Amino acid sequence: MRSHVMTKGNERAPHRSLLKAMGYTDEEIARPLIGVVNSANEIIPGHIHLDLITEDVKAGIRMAGGTPVVFPAIGVCDGLAMGHAGMKYSLASRELIADSTEVMVMAHPFDGLVMIPNCDKIVPGLLMAAMRVNIPTIFVSGGPMLAGKRPDGTPADLISVFEGVGALKAGKISPEELKIMEDYACPGCGSCSGMFTANSMNCLTEALGLALPGNGTIPAVFAERRRLAKKTGMAVMELVSKQICPRDIATFDAFCNALAVDMALGCSTNTVLHIPAIAHEAGITLELDLFNEISSQTPNLCHLSPAGSHHIEDLYQAGGIQAVIKTIAPLGVIRQDVITITGKTVRDNIASAQVWNTEVIRPVDRAYNQQGGIAILHGNLAPDGAVVKQSAVAESMLVNKGAARVFDGEEAAIEAILGGRIQAGDIVVIRYEGPKGGPGMREMLSPTSAIAGMGLDTSVALLTDGRFSGGTRGAAIGHISPEAAEGGPIALVREGDLITIDIPKKSLTLNVSDEELKKRREELAVFEPAVKTGYLARYAKLVTSASTGAIFKE
């Protein structure tokens, strides 16, 4: 066993002595040592209950003959970090999570790992670490939050509250109505209840084959989630016995399966950052064009919040991720013979899956769209690509031409939006918010929610080299690459320039002549980093483009 370099032989008596100082017995030390990465904390609703999930995982490991050893991972709550400088640290935390987990696993030779994440950057950070260290590993998330309900029975979630701020500014609701949303939108623990980034990544972990069926959708407060945690603890022991490692499961075909599920569900645009970054750690390159290729073959079957009124609990009741996979498998977009964490193939896993609600998971012939939920756009404004959640864009906004309203940073844009200075037909451009320029590539949920709350989401588009929350809806196009801080064309846009958006044709065009753009480039000031010390300054020096997953330079 891998742990024997730390626990076996007379020369390791000092090591065993240290383990015994913590109460481990000779019997426990002799068993496989399983690292349990518990990302519990008291600042994220999706992580507040993870100590309980961890205890269940530990029980499963012990039942199967292993010794669980818990260590932590940090986590940022994107909702609480939203709209201020804290959001600069969210994406940047992904690399810290991966790096610190690698440190723990390599310094202490565990025989296997159970990763227990739940929210936005913690899931991909731990997936990246799993690919990097490549020892037997399985994931179990904390599960999704139940959707909220106002006293009158109407649904609410976190996005309702963000959009409510804009609605209040527009005079559409009262402060009392906003307070009701605030009080009832988030009823308890779990990752926020829509197909936002956290739930997107937990669903795709299941689709990738690195978590047991049910991981993406079983609600956090259901006893079934605890039973899943125990089964996960038992399952890791089987992986250790057979020496099945993450890279054995997360092959190129498995990533293609995850992308197909991404398109069918209409997942967060953040998956376009995370999936390539995870694949990179597995030694696999996923080009952005692959997203469009798979999207063209995969219909969008689900309209979960923010695209529609359904939530993750509805997807769970409708049959979950395995039912989605079974629905699209006949189209040829699923590689059914790849192995999964169950020890069985995808074909085996979906054999008994069933769709129980054809409104939540629509059949292929009644799909919301015959293309997937995400589109990658190219053009002279985004030579290296941009991303949009096309499943959450109103039909009237799929093709659009308007005048640019340009803002160097999120705060100035929010002030203009809430101040009523943005009109129907405008195209809001927020730049210098990319991985380097932010630094940290902040989410633009506050401005997009303000636009939606004020009733402008069907008439105003927003473009940025930053990124969006999975809860963003409307013609919100992010990850514009190269970013402004690297001299990308978005840095050359001026107030009033006409921009053409054509999502069906996958194009994004700045209607300015090449000669004028050349002149503007010659006049462009050299970018001066806003942050010069600390982790963010180091991050800005190391991070690459959003088009490559915002990974660190080799």
Closest CA to 464 of 541, 400, 381, 550: 381
The DSSP symbol for 299 reads: -
The single-letter DSSP state of residue 260 is: H
Mean pLDDT of the chain: 96
Residue 426's alpha-carbon distances to 429, 456, 509, in angstroms, are 9, 10, 15
Percent of the chain at pLDDT > 70 equals 100
pLDDT digits (tens, 9 = 90+) for 360-375: 999 999 999 999 999 9
Over residues 24-69, the pLDDT tens digits come to: 999 999 999 999 999 999 999 999 999 999 999 999 999 999 999 9
Among 280, 262, 519, which Cα is nearest to 387's? 262
Percentage of the chain with pLDDT > 90? 95
Nearest to 373 by CA among 393, 358, 355: 393
pLDDT confidence of residue 472? 85
Q: How far apart are CA 473 and CA 195, in angstroms?
A: 11
Q: How would you class 275 by CB atoms within 10 Å of its CB: exposed for 0-12, middle for 13-18, buried for 19 or more?
A: buried
Q: Does residue 292 have a pLDDT over 90?
A: yes
Output phi, psi for 300, to 5 deg: -85, 110
CA dist., res. 295 & res. 263, Å (int): 6
The pLDDT, as a whole number, for residue 174 is 96
This prediction's pTM: 0.96
Mean pLDDT, residues 83-111: 96
Instruction: Give mean pLDDT, residues 213-239.
Output: 98
Our measurement of the distance from residue 22's CA atom to the centroid of its chain's CA atoms, rounded to an integer in Å, reads: 36
Strand partners, 300: 369
- 3-state class (DSSP) for residue 176: helix
The answer to whether residues 310 and 265 touch, using CB atoms and an 8 Å cutoff, is no
Q: What is the pLDDT of residue 458?
A: 93
SS3 of 457-508: CCCCEEEECCECCCCCCCCEEEEEECCHHHCCHHHHCCCCCEEEEECCCCEE
The residue among 134, 162, 130 whose CA lies nearest residue 37 is: 130
Q: Give how far Cα 395 sits from Cα of 315, 368, 445, 474, Å.
A: 24, 12, 21, 10
All domains of the chain, ordered by start, with CATH? 31-143+190-364 (3.40.50.2300), 153-184 (no CATH), 375-548 (3.50.30.80)
Where in the sequence numbering do the catalytic residues fall?
469
Q: Write down how long the chain is.
A: 554
CA gap 433, 409 in Å, rounded: 6
Whether 473 shows a pLDDT value over 90: the answer reads no
The mean pLDDT of 93-115, rounded to a whole number, is 98
Residue 410, pLDDT > 90, answer yes
pLDDT of residue 515: 97
Whether the CB-CB separation of 430 and 462 falls below 8 Å is answered with yes
- Bridge partner list, 510: 499
Which has more pLDDT, 537 or 169? 537
The pLDDT of residue 170 is: 87
With 0-12 / 13-18 / 19 or more C-beta atoms within 10 angstroms meaning exposed / middle / buried, residue 296 is middle
- 267 vs 445, which has greater pLDDT? 267
Mean pLDDT of 328-352: 97
* CB burial readout 458-486, b (16+ within 10 A) else e: ebbbbbbbbbbbbbbbbbbbbbbbbbbbb
pLDDT at position 97: 98
pLDDT band at 325 (very low <50, low <70, confident <90, very high): very high
Cα distance between residue 421 and residue 430, in whole Å: 15
Residue with tokens 């196009």: 477
CA proximity to 388, closest of 446, 286, 307: 307
Distance CA 382, CA 509 (A): 8
- 470: confidence class by pLDDT, cuts 50, 70, 90: confident
* Per-residue pLDDT tens over the stretch 430-469: 999 999 999 999 999 889 989 988 899 899 999 999 999 8
pLDDT in tens, 381-400: 999 999 999 999 999 999 99
Please check the confidence at residue 554 and state whether its pLDDT lies above 90.
no
Contact 192, 198 (CB under 8 A): yes
**Could you tell me where the DSSP H helices lie in 341-475?**
346-350, 410-418, 445-453
pLDDT value of position 471: 80
The arithmetic mean of pLDDT across residues 418-440, rounded, is 96
Res 51: pLDDT: 98
Q: Is 198 left (phi over 0), alpha (psi -120 to 50) or beta?
A: alpha
State residue 83's pLDDT score.
85
pLDDT band at residue 192 using 50, 70 and 90 as cut-offs? very high
Strands 375-379 and 382-388: antiparallel
Q: Which has the closest alpha carbon to 231: 64, 46, 38?
A: 64
pLDDT, average across residues 214-218: 98
Query: Over the stretch 230-255, which tens digit does the pLDDT of each residue have?
Result: 999 999 999 999 999 999 999 999 99
